[in-house]
Structure 1
Amino acid sequence: MLVLSRKAGESVLVGDDVTITVLEVRGDVIRIGIDAPRSVSVQRAELIEQLSSSNRDAASPSDTTVASLAEQLRKRS
């Protein structure tokens, strides 16, 4: 991992098409701006992890859910 120090108003270039600019530093919060082509996906890491976790949970029903579903199917017969 490359670690850089930047001040408000300074930028970092990633490749030829992406510019990351420090907009504001206020305490332990840093606001950044990312200028990238539409073809480059820019996402917050915590949202991707949350979505991935939700998808895993939805794809793996709990034993109680499966048992409840099986019971409902038995009642229909």
Structure 2
Amino acid sequence: MLALTRKKNEALIINNNIEITILDIRGDQVKIGITAPKEIPVYRKEVYIQIQEENKEALNTQGIDALKKLLK
């Protein structure tokens, strides 16, 4: 993991096309702004994990249904 120190209104660039800017710092909360191409999805980690779990569940369900169809 790369750890960087940034102050309010400072930014970093990822892969030449993603910019992350520190918008505000209040106590233990940091507000960030992310500028990225529309084709690059940006999620909060907890939302990303939930999406991955739902995708795995859907895949398992579809796999079982496909197997049942093959066995009939």
* TM > 0.5: yes
Partner of residue 52, structure 2: 52
- Cα-Cα RMSD: 1.8
TM-score w.r.t. length of structure 2: 0.70
Shift of 1:53: 3.3
Change (3 A) 1:60 1:38: closer
Aligned residues: 61
Residue equivalent to 1:32: 32
Instruction: Report the 3-state secondary structure (helix = DSSP H, G, I; strand = E; otherwise coil) of the residue aligned with 1:46.
Output: helix
CA distance in structure 1 between the partners assigned to 2:18 and 2:59 by the alignment: 35
Gaps of at least 5 residues in structure 2 are 62-72
Q: What is the distance in 1 between the residues matched to 2:40 and 2:60? A: 31
| Identity across matched positions, percent | 38
Give a deviation string over 1:43-76, Cα, whole Å, max 9, x none: 1110111233345567779xxxxxxxxxxxxxxx
For structure 1, the residue ranges without an aligned partner over 5 or more in a row are 62-77
Structure 1 length-normalised TM: 0.66
Moved >2 Å (runs of 4+): 50-61
